[in-house]
Amino acid sequence: MPPRRLTVVISRQLPAGVEARLTDLFDAELRACDSAMTRAELIAAVERADVLVTTITDRIDAGILARAGPRLKLIAQFGAGVDNLDVATARQRGILVTHTPGTTVDDTADMTLALILAVTRRIPEGLAAMQAGAWHGWSPTAFLGGRIAGRRLGILGMGRIGTAVARRARAFGMAVHYHNRTPAPEQVTGPLGAVWHDSLDHMISRVDVISVNCPHTPATFHLMNARRIALMKPGAVIVNTSRGEVIDENALVRALEAGAIAGAGLDVFEHGTPLNPRLRSLPNVVLLPHMGSATREGRREMGEKVLLNIKTFADGHRPPDLVVPFRG
């Protein structure tokens, strides 16, 4: 008798090619609609699955994991970040957790630069004027923005994405500064001329653009709080393509409304949907619907890693992209 095929429950619609491969290899239960599972649906999934494929919209906490059936041995995240998963509790229960590192680096870095340019050059305002038929010809004083060449970029989190942002910013003529708990390797930062700041406060007060590229962990929650936002230069802007929880959103809104900083570009939000209406009303803010990693190529690479992790596990081996629980 052939071995039983693993039951793989997929919590969200994935690209068609990924779903087809999952169906070929496993007893895959596909999601019929493009919406996140409810808590009740997630509980039902962990009760019956051998493998659960999750996305960042699935909050898998200790309460849900307590309902997991004895067959659940792997949670395969379709994405690089895992702050939606209680990894430590999963490990305690003997459940492995994998993710898809490296698949979002270039796409997210591209979007970071796009947001920097959109905010500093007022691109959405120009687009809105054109679409409304409100443009009546060139003017020497219309839509004046700021030049990014020669400006200082402060990267909060010089990991893979932060480094990719630095390379792009350097090509635009920006001076690169960054804050990590420890300096990045010289072979990475040397060619970029990147300056390490052991004090985040010091970096914030000196740069013209802040790019948030660190993950959301207990240590980075509200890392950009009201006090630190107040340290920003009056003409500075901040962009976030990482996780919304790293910025105190209410404090940011107050600073923007008061004109204390020049603008913001946000692809992620502290509270998700519905979006803070005060953010939507601000003319100096560019808002995107968490599309920093949304490329066909990136999604395909995510799917390939998910498949490899599950298949390696099914073959009795250690999946290549295991997540280590955060320890502070």
Quote the mean pLDDT of the chain: 96
Q: What is the pLDDT of residue 324?
A: 81
Helix (H, G, I), strand (E, B) or coil at 55: coil
Give the residue from 20, 73, 19, 23 showing the smallest Cα distance to 48. 73
Question: Does the residue 320 lie in any domain?
Answer: no
273 and 157, same structural domain? yes
Residues comprising the chain, all counted:
328
Separation between Cα atoms, residue 166 and residue 31, nearest integer Å: 38
* Residues 189 and 177 reside in one and the same domain: yes
For residue 51, the tally of other CB atoms under 10 A from its CB is 27
Could you report the per-residue pLDDT of 235-247, keeping only the tens digit for each? 999 999 999 999 9
309 burial via Cβ count (<10 Å: 0-12, 13-18, 19+): buried
CATH code, 54: 3.40.50.720
Same domain, 109 and 98: no
pLDDT at 2 > cutoff 60: no
**Does 328 map to a domain?**
no
113/87 same-domain check? no
Q: Average pLDDT of 54-83? A: 97
- Backbone φ and ψ for 212, nearest 5 degrees, come out as -85, 115
Flag whether 271 is in a domain: yes
* Bridge partners, residue 29, by sequence: 9
Instruction: Note down the domain range covering 75.
Output: 7-103+296-315
Q: For residue range 158-193, what is the model confidence (pLDDT) as tens digits?
A: 999 999 999 999 999 999 999 999 999 999 999 999
| 251 and 302 assigned to the same domain | no
CA Rg value for the chain:
22
In a domain, 251, yes or no: yes
Identify the CA nearest to 73 among candidates 322, 327, 328, 326.
Answer: 322
- Kindly state the average pLDDT of the residues 275-290: 94
- Give CA–CA dist 9/4, Å, rounded: 15
Whether residue 191 sits in one domain with residue 57: no
Alpha-carbon distance of 139 to 117, in angstroms, equals: 20
Residue 250 lies in a domain: yes
Q: Record the pTM.
A: 0.92
Residue 1 lies in a domain: no
Residue 325 lies in a domain: no
Write the burial class of residue 27 (CB in 10 Å: 0-12 exposed, 13-18 middle, 19+ buried).
middle
- Clarify whether residues 220 and 303 are in a common domain: no
Whether 246 and 224 have beta carbons less than 8 Å apart is answered as yes
Pair (64, 183) in one structural domain: no
pLDDT for 12 beyond 70: yes
Residue 176 lies in a domain: yes
DSSP assignments along 253-275, one per residue: HHHHHTTSSSEEEESS-SS-SSP
The total of structural domains in the chain comes to 2
Q: How far apart are CA 257 and CA 41, in angstroms?
A: 40
Sequence-distant (6+) residues with CB within 8 A of 322 are 96, 97, 98
For range 116-137, the mean pLDDT: 96
For residues 234 and 190, state if they share a domain. yes
CA distance 81 to 103: 11
Q: What is the pLDDT of residue 328?
A: 47
Same domain, 231 and 304: no
pLDDT, position 273:
85
The mean pLDDT of 263-277, rounded to a whole number, is 94
